[in-house]
Chain A
Amino acid sequence: MQLHRDLDKIRAAGAELYVIGNGSPSFIEGFRAETKWTGPIYTDPSLAVYKAAELKRGVTKTLNPFALGGTVKAFMNGNRQGRVQGDAWQQGGALVIAPDGAVLWHHVSDRPDDIASGSDIAAALSEKRRAQP
Chain B
Amino acid sequence: MLSRADDLAKMTVLDAAGTTVELGTLWRDKPAALVFVRHFG
Contacts and interface: CB of A to CB of B under 8 A. Distances in A.
Contacts of A27: 40-41
B36 A94 contact: yes
Contacts of A44: 13-14
Interface in B1-41: 1-9, 11, 13-18, 21, 23-24, 26-41
A52 interface: yes
A15 B35 contact: no
Contacts, number: 164
A21 B3 contact: no
Contacts of A72: none
A49 B33 contact: no
Nearest to B23: A49
Interface string A51-80: 011110000000000000000000000000
B16 A53 contact: no
A84 B6 contact: no
Interface string A33-56: 010000001111100111011110
Given A52-B7, A125-B31, A28 B15 contact: yes
